[in-house]
Structure 1
Amino acid sequence: MPLLAAPPPRQLQPFRPRRAPAASVAPAPVVASVPFHGRSLMEYVRFFDLEIEALRGRDVLDVAAGPSSFTAEACARRIDAVAVDPMYRRPLADLTATVESDYARVEADTQARRRQIRVRDCEAVHPDLPDAMVFGSLTEALADRRLSAQRFLADFETHCPHGRYVGAALPFLPFFDRTFDLVLCAHLLFVEAARFDFEWHVAACRELVRVSDGEVRIHPLCGPEGRPYPKLPALRRELRAAGIASEVVAVNYEFFAGADTMLKLRRAPTAA
């Protein structure tokens, strides 16, 4: 795993506007509610296979970020990270209350699925991939995610007015084309696949690629029960027809059984 020590100060870069004019962005649709639940930079590094050193000074977008502390922790390491979530339109007090209610619900569900969880004190320990487990126990994992939410809430209060946290939802993001070097989206498209139809998935993927000047990474490619998204081949065909290349990549992390891959997207090379 890459070292996460803070680097020395770097030179300021010229200002580059990110936000698209309001008139050019379609209004965010009403979408089914998903749990407001997040994770730390440590988990992002593992399930997105990130190299922190390589991202310093780069523009990174975390989509459907929820109360993840990735953006707060990344910015502290001189990564120009921005987080997007429809819940960010709400005041801090509402977010704090939602963290408490949603975390209790997610934790109860995780305990009920204990047989699927790949931590060292659970039954689903992977015999061939011991390094794919970050946490020694389920209690440790849940506590880490609680800590992540607290980091998020503190950072949101300070930096939301500065544009670090943007209230928006897929498939409409309020950013110019090719704004970010890397775009991340975790635990939405395929974990919550039953909440959205196939057309939404196609539009969401195209929008993620639109705002990226490099690569999009999506994790995981299965639902919470571990079954792969059944329409992934059709989705990849639709994206290929739209000029978007895709690749399924294994990652050295698997919090629950089956969640050991990510989808990489980028604009397909054009013929000379």
Structure 2
Amino acid sequence: MSFDDKKSRSLTPVFERPAVAFFGRSLAEYVQFFDLDVDALRGRSVLDVAAGPSSFTAEARRGGVEAVAVDPLYARNPADLERQVAQDYEHMFERMRTGQNSGRFRFKSFASVDEAEADRRRAAKRFLGDFAAHREHGRYFGAALPKLPFLDGAFDVVLCAHLLFIYPALFDFAFHLAACRELMRVARDEVRIHPVCGADGQPYPQLGDLIGELGESGVEAREVPVDYEFFAGATTMLVLRPG
């Protein structure tokens, strides 16, 4: 995921760095942490928000899903994104392997950090190829929450992973509320957000307030368990639907 602000304050949770990394995952991981049925999505429109170099859109498109991705860094050219991937992946996996961080991981989907790195680098490679081929074809948009360049109800399903709640030094409650409302605005059926915890694995402390505020604006929000946990505590998603 990415937030194009390298001057932002550093974070105190596990993965301390000056901004949100340009980091992505494969369709297979999306299926797990969003509890997706790809066959049921065939022919439907799906938006991946703050997608980074995830290969979900490229892979889902090959499976007949009308997938679109949005990220602030998509305004850059393919060569710039390739350099960003190289930089952020080196930084991220170096931190994953430090003694301070190594105990944070739960190897349910991958046997080791090495296996996770190989899978995510393959995903980034698929993304880079697809981005270079289709950036002019309405598949990738350069934009950021809390304002997306799409019409109301433009997508059947909207996904947002590893952005909102894991960066408390960057995004406050007001941003979370505005972002959730914006995600819901462009969704016809539902929004899925993962995880619902900080990078330290602690549950999002204002979830009750967020659910209450969304309810007042006609959005039903509920936390749902998923059969996935890469870092400790990342075991749920937040599902938003019209109330």
**Normalised TM-score (structure 1):** 0.81
Equivalent position of 2:130 in the other structure: 155
Label 1:161 to 1:141 Cα distance change in 2 as closer, same or farther (>3 A). Answer: same
Amino acid of the structure 1 residue aligned with 2:238: L
Q: In the alignment, what sits opposite 1:23? A: none
1:56 partnered with 2:42? yes
Larger Rg: 1
Change (3 A) 1:266 1:68: same
Partner Cα distance (2:88, 2:146) in 1: 23
> Could you say which residue in structure 1 is the equivalent of 2:80?
94
2: CA distance between counterparts of 1:48 and 1:69?
Answer: 15
AA partner of residue 218 (structure 1): I
Deviation, 1:136, is 1.6
Superposed displacement of residue 224, structure 1: 1.5
Residue pairs, 1:40-119, within 5 angstroms: 40-112=26-98, 113-119=101-107
Question: Does 211-220 or 32-41 show the bigger shift?
Answer: 32-41
The residue type paired with residue 260 of structure 1 is T
Matched, 1:197 2:152: no
Q: CA deviation at 1:93?
A: 1.1
Alignment counterpart, residue 168 of structure 1, candidates 132, 140, 143:
143
- Equivalences, count: 227
> 1:1-272, aligned counterparts within 5 Å?
32=8, 33-112=19-98, 113-119=101-107, 133-268=108-243
8 Å contact kept, 1:193–1:229:
no
State the match for 1:20 in structure 2. none
Q: Residue 238 of structure 1: SS of its match in structure 2?
A: helix
TM superposition outliers: structure 1 runs of 4+ over 4 Å = 29-32
- Percent identity, please: 57
**8 Å CA contact retained: 1:107, 1:142:** yes
Q: What is the rounded CA distance, in whole Å, between the counterparts of 1:61 and 1:163 in structure 2?
A: 12
Using the TM superposition, give the Cα deviation of residue 111 of structure 1 relative to its aligned residue in structure 2, in angstroms. Answer: 1.6
Partner of 1:253, secondary structure, is: coil
Asked if structure 2 preserves the Cα contact closer than 8 Å seen for 1:83 and 1:164, the reply is yes
- Tell me if the contact between 2:4 and 2:73 (Cα under 8 Å) persists in the aligned partners: no
Once the two structures are superposed, residues 115-143 of structure 1 have per-residue CA deviations (whole angstroms, 9 ceiling, x without a partner) of 11111xxxxxxxxxxxxx11122100111
How much has 1:30 moved relative to structure 2?
A: 7.7
- CA shift, 1:167, in A, is 0.4
CA-atom RMSD in angstroms:
1.3
Indicate the SS of the match to 2:238. strand
Partner of 1:122: none
Deviations 1:200-248 (A, max 9, x none): 1110000000000001000001111101111111111111111111010
SS of aligned partner of 2:103: helix
The answer for unaligned runs of 5 or more in structure 2 is: 9-18
